[in-house]
Structure 1
Amino acid sequence: MMSKLRASMSVEEFDDGYFYAADLKAFARQLGIPVGRRRKLELESLIRGVLRTGMVPLAKPVPDRRSGEERDRLAADTIVQTYVDDRRTKAFLRDLVHACSPSLRDKSGQWYWLNELRRTQLQAGRRITYADLGNRLLELMRSEGRLPRIPAARFNNFVTDFKADPANRGKGRANAVAAWERIKSVPGPKTYEAYAALESGRRKVGGSE
């Protein structure tokens, strides 16, 4: 059976489960974590910290821009305060990058990891400028190979790996979703590797009967 959220559970039990955002928010409040508009990935990280140490973090969530609130002036020396994650901001940051390296192209996941840096720095009370964001984006776009997978996108990662497996040739998204629902219902990592191992074990048991 899947573990239920409880204050006495271990980090391993937590990681082996799959929990919806609404349940994570309720559990975070139970633990004393300020929820605000925190994303699921951020809540998971904070919950792990409490389960591991027993201490509730003091950091407050970075507030989102409210409707009608004036956005930051897009300039290299502007301190990041009211950031808007839209095409205009991304185009400006790309311009900063291309001023240093005109031939660089976008990489999958670059905006996610850039936003992670921004949120982390602001939550720590550090002042950063748009030049800092541009420099970080430059590093991400220059990095060799693929960027790390987005942790929160476990379903998307699972589907990608499912389709990449030659054993699943000819199978569609519905098959991938069914496989995801199966691995999600059992304790353990929510990865395609774990699913493949589960299915392999089941076939061996079935073949021996």
Structure 2
Amino acid sequence: MAEKKLRIDMSVAEFDAGYFYATDMKAFAREIGISVGNFRKSELEDLIRDFLATGKVPSRKPVLPRKPGAERDELAVNVTVTNYVGDKKTKQFLLELVAKKEADLKNKSGQWYWLNDWRRLRQESDRTFTYQDLADHLHSLMTTKGRLPQIPSARMNNFITDFYSDPQNSDIPRADVLKAWEWLKVKSGPKTYQKYKRLRSEES
């Protein structure tokens, strides 16, 4: 089955049933007048979905983590987050602050994504917060019981995680899991492991 193409006249249901690469979504967003900037794929999906539902270009604009040409923030607890750089240096600094609060915490899958999401939302709403605030939220993420929420729109990664969470799949090679994903990707409807299982059971 050929992969669907993004079209201005497609319905929201048709959009949700398809699978589109980030590069194609960015090109389509620019075509309809959306400022792509540093929006994540999940954010672009929401904006495109709004456009398809209303016919109007969403007014939301991307907010960069730092001002063009500006020096990065000094890494200190009371410094207001203004020109953020999410590199190893910043992550190590934040982990050191977390360790002062509670030593020997283990990293949790998705913690940097959700920390970045928390920071971006506050920068978009012009809320003031410090690097200590960032570290406190990172501590909250790292001490969350169970798994953190799955990353929006990372559908392949979510599929693989859910695939291996099923005990009957524990010994299946990753190459075969990727083949299963490629098979599901071109099917209509949600791109989830639950949908994959249902479709496979219907075939058998």
Instruction: Indicate the TM-score class for this superposition, using the shorter chain for normalisation.
Output: 0.7 to 0.9
Cα displacement string for residues 134-153 of structure 1 (whole angstroms, at most 9, x for unaligned residues): 22112212222111111232
Q: Any unmatched runs of 5+ in structure 1?
A: 204-209
Report the equivalent of 1:175: 176
Q: Any unmatched runs of 5+ in structure 2?
A: none
The 4+ residue runs of structure 1 with deviation greater than 4 A are 64-69
Alpha-carbon distance in 1 for matches of 2:13, 2:77: 43
Report the equivalent of 2:59: 58
Alpha-carbon distance in 2 for matches of 1:77, 1:56: 39
Report the 3-state secondary structure (helix = DSSP H, G, I; strand = E; otherwise coil) of the residue aligned with 1:138: helix
Which amino acid in the other structure matches residue 194 of structure 1? K
Question: How far has the Cα of 1:6 moved from its partner?
Answer: 2.2
Report the equivalent of 1:149: 150
Alpha-carbon distance in 1 for matches of 2:42, 2:138: 21
> Which runs of structure 2 are paired with 1:156-171 in the superposition (5 Å)?
156-168=157-169, 170-171=171-172
Question: How far has the Cα of 1:42 moved from its partner?
Answer: 2.2
Question: How far has the Cα of 1:187 moved from its partner?
Answer: 0.9
Alpha-carbon distance in 1 for matches of 2:132, 2:196: 43
> Which runs of structure 2 are paired with 1:168-207 in the superposition (5 Å)?
168=169, 170-203=171-204
Judge conservation of contact 1:3–1:13 (CA < 8 Å) in 2.
Answer: no
* Residues matched between the structures, number: 203
Judge conservation of contact 1:59–1:123 (CA < 8 Å) in 2.
Answer: no
Alpha-carbon distance in 2 for matches of 1:10, 1:174: 34
Alpha-carbon distance in 2 for matches of 1:140, 1:116: 12
Alpha-carbon distance in 2 for matches of 1:49, 1:172: 39
Alpha-carbon distance in 1 for matches of 2:170, 2:106: 31
Alpha-carbon distance in 1 for matches of 2:126, 2:56: 20
Judge conservation of contact 1:11–1:51 (CA < 8 Å) in 2.
Answer: yes
